[in-house]
Amino acid sequence: MDSPQINVAVEELMFSLFQRPLHPELFQIYSSRTLNTDKYEAVIWVTGCTHVVSVFSGDTCVTEVVSSPGQMLPSRGLVERFQFRGPRTHKCTLSRGVSYMTDFQVEKMSSNLYRQSHMDLERFARNRGIFVKYPELEVDGMQPFCYVDFEARQTELHIHTFAAYPDQVTMIKTQSLFDFQ
């Protein structure tokens, strides 16, 4: 498998929200998980220190994407797109009673705080969610990683992601809620 393209400036990463599924051939998928409830099906992909989450309910699909610059993404079905520059909250109600909310922050840390946060998250991630690290890109004994934690409820999906960029002593944290009433 090719090396992940994660050696990018964090502020160049893009957040996109689509009201449609995206084809897996657009991404290099390092890990995936499918979740099912009576109300929805969710597909989660780790795509480097980035991710794709698609949630299907009936004929409705909502897809959240965090991507590297230059990632080829369609414009059809695009609801929102912006860069990771500081904290941000976004809420929207989509068709057929589907609502979506996300909140994210970019945390540039001191070396000591970053190292401690990195170790704590890695230890926590061993027991839940999807955790992918990239040893070939290690910096000062720390490996970049993407951690996606999720809680699948009957009509809601909660997603928490953590992307670690040791070369920039920075973490991106996202929280998203997909609500299907």
Q: What are the DSSP calls for 122-136, one per residue?
A: HHHHTTSSEEEE-GG
What is the predicted pLDDT for the residue at 7?
65
Starting at the edge strand found earlier in the chain, the sheet holding 170-180 runs 88-94, 98-108, 170-180, 156-165, 145-152, 130-133
Residue 4 lies inside a defined structural domain of this protein: no
Domain residues for the domain of 146 are 10-180
What is the predicted pLDDT for the residue at 5?
57
Pairing mode, strands 78-83 and 51-57: unpaired
Please name the helix (run of DSSP H) or strand (run of DSSP E) that holds residue 105, with its range, or none: strand 98-108
Residue 150 lies inside a defined structural domain of this protein: yes
Q: What is the pTM of this model?
A: 0.92
What is the predicted pLDDT for the residue at 97?
78
Domain count, the chain: 1
Our measurement of the distance from residue 120's CA atom to the centroid of its chain's CA atoms, rounded to an integer in Å, reads: 19
Give a three-class secondary structure readout of 158-174.
EEEEEEEEHHHCEEEEE
Counting as low any pLDDT under 50, the low residues of the chain are none
105: which 2 tokens?
A: 């922050």
Residue 3 lies inside a defined structural domain of this protein: no
27: which 2 tokens?
A: 């991404």
What would the pLDDT profile of 93-146 be if each residue is shown by its tens digit? 887 778 999 999 999 999 999 999 999 999 989 888 999 999 998 888 899 999
Residue 16 lies inside a defined structural domain of this protein: yes
Q: What are phi and psi of 12, to 5 degrees?
A: -90, -10
Pairing mode, strands 156-165 and 170-180: antiparallel
Residue 56 lies inside a defined structural domain of this protein: yes
